[in-house]
A and B are shown apart, each in its own frame.
Chain A
Amino acid sequence: MPVLWLFLIVLAVAILGYLLGRARALSAAPEGRRGLHSLPVYYGANVALKVLVPALGILILWLLVQPFVIDRAVSGTIPDSDIAEGASRGLVMSEVARVADGVKAAVGAGTMPAAMAADPSPDLEAVTQALKDAGQVVTGDVTQTVFAAAQKYNAMAAQGGLYMTILVLLAAAAGCVMGLHEAKPDFRARNVVEKGIRALLIAAASIAILTTVGIVLSLIFNTVEFFRLYPASQFFFSLEWAPSFSGRGGASELGILPLLWGTLYISFVALAVAVPIGLFAAIYLSEYASPRLRAVAKPLLEVLAGIPTIVYGLFALLTVGPLLVSVFGDGGYLGVSWQGGGRAVMTAGLVMGIMLIPFVSSLSDDIINAVPQAMRDGSYGLGATQSETIKQVVLPAALPGIVGAILLAASRAIGETMIVVLGAGAAARLSLNPFEAMTTVTAKIVSQLTGDSDFASPEALVAFALGMSLFVITLGLNVVALAIVRKYREQYD
Chain B
Amino acid sequence: MNDMRIIERGTLVNDIKISAKGVQVYYADNHAIKDVDVEIEDKTVTAFIGPSGCGKSTFLRCLNRMNDTIDICRVEGHIAIDGQDIYDPQVDPVQLRAKVGMVFQKPNPFPKSIYDNIAYGPRIHGLARNKAELDEIVEKSLRRGAIWDEVKDRLDAPGTSLSGGQQQRLCIARAVATEPEVLLMDEPCSALDPIATSQVEELIDELRQSFSVVIVTHSMQQAARVSQKTAFFHLGNLVEYGETGKIFTNPEDSRTESYITGRIG
CB-contacts of B63-97 with A (<8 A): 64, 66, 69, 71, 94-97
Is the Cβ of B171 less than 8 Å from the Cβ of A378? yes
Interchain CA distance A290-B94 in the complex, whole Å: 21
Q: A382-B124, A382-B175 are in contact. Are A490 and B160 (CB under 8 A)?
A: yes
Question: Contacting chain B: which of A125-133, A388-396, A465-473?
Answer: A388-396
Is the Cβ of B178 less than 8 Å from the Cβ of A382? yes
Chain A residues positioned under 8 Å from B259 (CB to CB): none
Interchain CA distance A388-B95 in the complex, whole Å: 13
Is the Cβ of A372 less than 8 Å from the Cβ of B112? no
Chain A residues positioned under 8 Å from B110 (CB to CB): 375, 378-379, 392-393, 396-397
Chain A residues positioned under 8 Å from B109 (CB to CB): 378
Question: Contacting chain A: which of B28-36, B100-108, B202-210, B232-240?
Answer: B100-108
Q: Quick check: is A242 within 8 A (CB to CB) of the other chain?
A: no
In the assembled complex, the CB of A399 is this many whole angstroms from the nearest CB of chain B, namely: 8
Chain A residues positioned under 8 Å from B160 (CB to CB): 490-491
Is the Cβ of B120 less than 8 Å from the Cβ of A383? no
Interchain CA distance A252-B232 in the complex, whole Å: 88
Chain A residues positioned under 8 Å from B111 (CB to CB): 375, 393, 396-397, 490
Chain A residues positioned under 8 Å from B69 (CB to CB): 376-377, 380
CB-contacts of A265-313 with B (<8 A): 290
Is the Cβ of A382 less than 8 Å from the Cβ of B120? yes
Interchain CA distance A410-B111 in the complex, whole Å: 26
Interchain CA distance A490-B167 in the complex, whole Å: 15
Number of interface residues of B (CB under 8 A): 29
Is the Cβ of A383 less than 8 Å from the Cβ of B171? no
Is the Cβ of A384 less than 8 Å from the Cβ of B124? yes
Is the Cβ of A382 less than 8 Å from the Cβ of B97? yes
Is the Cβ of A380 less than 8 Å from the Cβ of B120? no
In the assembled complex, the CB of A258 is this many whole angstroms from the nearest CB of chain B, namely: 43
Q: Quick check: is B121 within 8 A (CB to CB) of the other chain?
A: yes
Q: Quick check: is A206 within 8 A (CB to CB) of the other chain?
A: no
Chain B residues positioned under 8 Å from A396 (CB to CB): 110-112
Interchain CA distance A374-B171 in the complex, whole Å: 12
Q: Quick check: is B125 within 8 A (CB to CB) of the other chain?
A: yes
Q: Quick check: is B98 within 8 A (CB to CB) of the other chain?
A: yes
Q: Quick check: is B174 within 8 A (CB to CB) of the other chain?
A: yes
Q: A374-B108, A397-B111 are in contact. Are A381 and B101 (CB under 8 A)?
A: yes
Is the Cβ of B174 less than 8 Å from the Cβ of A383? no
Per-position 1/0 for A395-431, Cβ under 8 A of B: 0110000000000000000000000000000000000
Out of A372, A376, A381, A490, which one reaches B64, CB within 8 Å? A381
Q: A377-B69, A388-B124 are in contact. Are A383 and B98 (CB under 8 A)?
A: yes
Is the Cβ of B178 less than 8 Å from the Cβ of A383? yes
A375 to chain B: closest residue by CB: B108
In the assembled complex, the CB of A388 is this many whole angstroms from the nearest CB of chain B, namely: 6
In the assembled complex, the CB of A485 is this many whole angstroms from the nearest CB of chain B, namely: 14
Interchain CA distance A71-B171 in the complex, whole Å: 76
In the assembled complex, the CB of A127 is this many whole angstroms from the nearest CB of chain B, namely: 79
Interchain CA distance A231-B174 in the complex, whole Å: 64
Most chain B CB atoms below 10 A, which of A378, A384, A385, A393: A378
List the interface of chain A (C-beta within 8 A of B): 290, 372, 374-385, 388, 392-393, 396-397, 490-491
Knowing that A375-B111, A380-B69, A397-B110 touch, tell me 4 more A-B residue pairs with CB under 8 angstroms: A375-B108, A382-B97, A384-B120, A396-B111
A-B contact pairs, 26 of them (CB 8 A): A372-B108, A374-B104, A374-B106, A374-B108, A375-B108, A377-B104, A379-B110, A380-B66, A380-B69, A380-B94, A380-B97, A382-B97, A382-B121, A382-B175, A383-B95, A383-B96, A383-B98, A383-B121, A384-B94, A384-B121, A384-B124, A385-B94, A392-B120, A393-B110, A396-B112, A490-B160
List the interface of chain B (C-beta within 8 A of A): 64, 66, 69, 71, 94-99, 101-104, 106, 108-112, 120-121, 124-125, 160, 171, 174-175, 178
7 A-B pairs with least C-beta separation: A383-B98, A381-B102, A374-B108, A383-B97, A378-B108, A382-B121, A397-B111
